[in-house]
Chains A and B, each alone.
Chain A
């Protein structure tokens, strides 16, 4: 294995050198995303964020032209992500690798970033551990413990809930969400009365919701992947009469994304979620971002993926400005550390210690505004760091 990678590196070095000689004036950014397959929607939304940023800010930075090279992993495929990262570095001679909608794919490519000494911008993958896998990784999205640990505390202290049931999808992010919510909630003094895990691709939630109902908890905390499941679980809950205010429903933001709200209808009213990006947040920067995004994307609204891609590009642009066009991984990572800016999601910064994002966590409640259901911010927890980083050190 080491001999293989040293060989790859030697070739990489040779190729980038020769490529660099003739194309001094471009900075190539390799974007690795699951453009096809079950996660195609996430990739598309993230890519639209990248495109919008480049459309608004031009493609020239520090006298160099930014060129995007897109690669499709075709689904959760860590090995493919790794191979694509190698190809991008070795064959296409990219200076920066970016994208990564899914944690396994980010982990797969992390080694390549380390060995090739390239800046790797993680624009979504939300498991805490990602940034610890390579000193060249910087994240511009969110971590699951970041939004859920604070939320667990909030649920007890301000939400006034003493006991809760957790129902999460049975995969890495679901386990993270369950653990961090439960940690925040129990540390504050709450009790978890029951916990269940649902299969990742679960078409029908009736059995699990019935289990929750049998336990009759004050609140139920839910984490399911975005897409079709939020609406499905929302409906299963309301069919059994588990609706706020009788039973409080908590979850991470995906649970109440616009399409899910449309599908759930009035039953979604009162669901409380935690998230780092809120589409309806009234603030000039966000309003302009949402309007421009909708115009560019056939009136589709931006979501967490879009904002991750948008801010990821901002980080790349600003880091290049700081290094004055120097594309070496070390220089770019140094430039990214401690960087702070106003994003459409609110003020954010990159923690110089962990290279992870620090941002506001918004607690939102589904309310009817002007005849339409939307997530209304009821509380803001400022400058939240991922609670797990450093915990293992």
Chain B
């Protein structure tokens, strides 16, 4: 029984980490820049297709595909930011929502045009396949890999945003744009880089997600809900909050399905409602 509990905890954590890498980018753009980017899933999908092209068409390793997905999504993100999104920074939230949702429709149509409507399988290296047995329990290797990547991303982000000069500039630019500008911080560039970072992380998440959930042109919409739940429960702009929320939701989802399968996928929503009743700003929300 304890063995089963351990396995459920592990699987839940791994699923949570998948949710985390998918949503942390949105936590960055939405939380730090106050920009409601519902097109986040589209950048995740883009990363997925980049990984696909790198592994299948160019025949390169999956380990190279992950940074490629990050870079690809970041580059497209920066291009969109320069040409499209920056016009919307000062407009109302409704405009941002409408615009970015429209972008998802466009992205879905482009993906359909380029890759067709079918499911795209990805070839992962053999070292990531299968499972290892520790103390009589079997742990999926890919899930272990997911947890490791998520921990690395969290550490890098917290370090980058809390302990570096760039991080301080970002926080300053967010808190008060005019004062930051007055102090000689190039707010424009900072925002562009931050946005690219958010998109790049979405791309990385998309590439990592294919192995677990698959990839097709509906990806951008399909996982938007989960992503929004994680960000809302975690609290805007809090990397640690997103991490905790994702872990909590993942474990609750898997645990709920295991112990009370009749509730199925309902539990994750129940949890969200509960947390938001208790803390309307999310677990670590400040504003």
Give A residues with C-beta under 8 Å from B.
37-38, 40-41, 43-44, 170, 196-199, 201-204, 206-208, 210-211, 214, 226-229, 231-232, 235-236, 238-241, 259-260, 262-263, 265, 267, 298, 300
Q: Which residues of B contact A206 (CB under 8 A)?
A: 8, 11, 14-15, 140, 254
Is the C-beta of B86 less than 8 angstroms from some C-beta in chain A? no
Q: How far is the CB of B205 from chain A (nearest CB, A)?
A: 13
Is the C-beta of B127 less than 8 angstroms from some C-beta in chain A? no
Known: A41-B118, A204-B212, A232-B212. A241 touches B131 (CB 8 A): yes
Q: Which of B60-68, B178-186, B216-224 lies at the interface with chain A?
A: B216-224
User: Cβ of A259 and Cβ of B120 under 8 Å apart?
Assistant: yes
8 Å CB contact of A197 from B130, B218, B254, B264:
B264
User: Cβ of A300 and Cβ of B118 under 8 Å apart?
Assistant: yes
Q: Which of B35-43, B74-82, B231-239, B255-263 lies at the interface with chain A?
A: B255-263
Is the C-beta of B189 less than 8 angstroms from some C-beta in chain A? no
Chain A residue at minimal CB-CB distance from B250: A204
8 Å CB contact of B8 from A43, A199, A210:
A210
How many A-B contacts if CB must be within 8 Å? 116
User: Cβ of A214 and Cβ of B4 under 8 Å apart?
Assistant: yes
User: Cβ of A232 and Cβ of B117 under 8 Å apart?
Assistant: no
Known: A170-B264, A199-B264, A206-B11. A227 touches B119 (CB 8 A): yes
8 Å CB contact of A196 from B122, B213, B217, B261:
B261
A selection of 24 A-B contacts at a CB cut-off of 8 Å is A203-B15, A203-B223, A204-B15, A204-B254, A206-B11, A206-B254, A207-B254, A207-B256, A207-B261, A210-B7, A211-B258, A211-B261, A228-B119, A228-B214, A231-B121, A231-B214, A239-B138, A241-B131, A241-B138, A262-B121, A262-B123, A263-B214, A267-B129, A298-B116
Q: Which residues of A contact B119 (CB under 8 A)?
A: 41, 226-228, 231, 259-260
Give B residues with C-beta under 8 Å from A.
4, 7-8, 11-12, 14-15, 18, 112, 116-123, 129-131, 138, 140, 142-143, 211-218, 222-223, 226, 253-258, 261, 264-265
A300 to B117, CA, bound (A): 11
Q: How far is the CB of A178 from chain B (nearest CB, A)?
A: 14
Chain B residue at minimal CB-CB distance from A239: B140
* A-B CB proximity, top 9 nearest: A228-B214, A263-B121, A207-B257, A206-B11, A41-B117, A239-B140, A207-B258, A199-B265, A40-B117
Q: Which residues of B contact A239 (CB under 8 A)?
A: 130-131, 138, 140, 142-143
Q: Which residues of B contact A262 (CB under 8 A)?
A: 121, 123
User: Cβ of B218 and Cβ of A204 under 8 Å apart?
Assistant: no
Known: A197-B261, A206-B254, A239-B138. A265 touches B129 (CB 8 A): yes
User: Cβ of B265 and Cβ of A202 under 8 Å apart?
Assistant: yes
Q: Which residues of A contact B14 (CB under 8 A)?
A: 206
A25 to B215, CA, bound (A): 45
User: Cβ of B131 and Cβ of A260 under 8 Å apart?
Assistant: no
User: Cβ of A259 and Cβ of B121 under 8 Å apart?
Assistant: yes
Q: Which residues of B contact A229 (CB under 8 A)?
A: 214
**Which has the most chain A C-beta neighbours within 10 Å: B116, B122, B256?**
B116
Q: How far is the CB of B182 from chain A (nearest CB, A)?
A: 47
Q: How far is the CB of A184 from chain B (nearest CB, A)?
A: 24
User: Cβ of A40 and Cβ of B112 under 8 Å apart?
Assistant: yes
**Which has the most chain B C-beta neighbours within 10 Å: A37, A41, A206, A227?**
A206
Q: Which residues of A contact B226 (CB under 8 A)?
A: 203
Q: Which residues of B contact A298 (CB under 8 A)?
A: 116
User: Cβ of A238 and Cβ of B130 under 8 Å apart?
Assistant: yes
User: Cβ of B118 and Cβ of A259 under 8 Å apart?
Assistant: yes
Q: Which residues of B contact A231 (CB under 8 A)?
A: 119, 121, 214
User: Cβ of A300 and Cβ of B116 under 8 Å apart?
Assistant: yes
Q: Which residues of B contact A214 (CB under 8 A)?
A: 4
Q: How far is the CB of A98 from chain B (nearest CB, A)?
A: 20
Chain A residue at minimal CB-CB distance from B264: A199
A254 to B18, CA, bound (A): 26
A226 to B15, CA, bound (A): 21
Chain A residue at minimal CB-CB distance from B221: A38
Q: How far is the CB of A349 from chain B (nearest CB, A)?
A: 31
Q: Which residues of B contact A236 (CB under 8 A)?
A: 140
Chain A residue at minimal CB-CB distance from B262: A197
Known: A207-B254, A207-B255, A210-B11. A263 touches B222 (CB 8 A): no
User: Cβ of B214 and Cβ of A208 under 8 Å apart?
Assistant: no
Q: Which residues of B contact A199 (CB under 8 A)?
A: 264-265
Q: Which residues of B contact A204 (CB under 8 A)?
A: 11, 15, 18, 212-213, 253-254
A37 to B140, CA, bound (A): 32
A203 to B213, CA, bound (A): 5
**Which has the most chain A C-beta neighbours within 10 Å: B12, B112, B215, B261?**
B261
A3 to B94, CA, bound (A): 42
Q: How far is the CB of A69 from chain B (nearest CB, A)?
A: 21
A202 to B257, CA, bound (A): 11
A227 to B7, CA, bound (A): 27
Q: How far is the CB of B206 from chain A (nearest CB, A)?
A: 13
Q: Which residues of A contact B121 (CB under 8 A)?
A: 231, 259-260, 262-263
Q: How far is the CB of B50 from chain A (nearest CB, A)?
A: 18
Chain A residue at minimal CB-CB distance from B120: A259
Q: Which residues of B contact A235 (CB under 8 A)?
A: 140, 142, 211-212
Chain B residue at minimal CB-CB distance from A203: B213
Known: A198-B257, A207-B12. 5 other contacts (CB 8 A): A37-B218, A38-B218, A197-B261, A208-B261, A240-B138
**Which has the most chain B C-beta neighbours within 10 Å: A210, A227, A239?**
A239
A235 to B214, CA, bound (A): 12
A201 to B261, CA, bound (A): 14
A209 to B218, CA, bound (A): 25
User: Cβ of B216 and Cβ of A41 under 8 Å apart?
Assistant: yes
User: Cβ of A208 and Cβ of B257 under 8 Å apart?
Assistant: yes
Q: Which residues of A contact B253 (CB under 8 A)?
A: 204, 207
A175 to B4, CA, bound (A): 28
A260 to B216, CA, bound (A): 13
Q: How far is the CB of A188 from chain B (nearest CB, A)?
A: 27
**Which has the most chain A C-beta neighbours within 10 Å: B14, B130, B131?**
B130
